[in-house]
Structure 1
Amino acid sequence: MSELEKAMIAIIDSFHQYSGKEGDKHKLKKSELKELINNELSHFLGEIKDQETVDKVMEALDCDGDAECDFQEFVAFIAMVTAACHEFFEHE
């Protein structure tokens, strides 16, 4: 299996590790999203400590307005973070 395929599986596994702890197992609630970001993306995004930041992140991700983050919305978020990191490291 290629490194890219392993990375794709890691993204899927990470989403499902946190989704469904509360409610729908195919969506992230705000608390699940916060836990995922703090545990899995803290080196790139820092730790989210206040609810206002979580609310803003969720609002930006929640395209369908259901107050949850589905897998499509999550993948779009990961793509945005990855693109931002690429630009940052490209200039170092």
Structure 2
Amino acid sequence: MTQLETAMAILMKVFDQYAAADGKTSSLSKAEVKTLLEKELPQLIKQAKNKEDVDKLIKSLDFNGDAEVDFEEFVVLVAALTCSCHGRQGKK
């Protein structure tokens, strides 16, 4: 596989791994999102000033308001963080 194909496969695997924790594999619960962020993005959690910041991030991911984060919402988070880290957010 190419590097990009590998990255895509890893995204799918990570989502599936954490989503399966409660047996509902199609979405992440709030607890699953927190665990994913703590284990997979520890620097993000360290930079959060307080617990409310993390809760706001999780709530902001839930675009459709179903109190869960599905794969599409998860990918938006990863893309936004990637853009932010790369310094290209909002540039054209």
Task: Give deviations 1:49-81, integer Å, cap 9, x for gaps.
Answer: 965233211211101100000000000000000
Match of 2:45 in 1: 46
Looking at structure 2, the residues matched to 23 and 11 of structure 1 have their Cα atoms a distance apart, in angstroms, of 19
Task: Give deviations 1:35-60, integer Å, cap 9, x for gaps.
Answer: 101111113x1346965233211211
Q: TM-score scaled to structure 2, two decimals?
A: 0.83
Contact 1:61 1:73 in 2 (8 A): yes
Q: 1:12 to 1:80 in 2, by over 3 A?
A: same
Contact 1:27 1:70 in 2 (8 A): yes
CA RMSD for the aligned pairs?
Answer: 2.0
Q: How many residues align?
A: 87
Q: Which runs of 5+ in 1 are unaligned?
A: none
Q: TM-score scaled to structure 1, two decimals?
A: 0.83
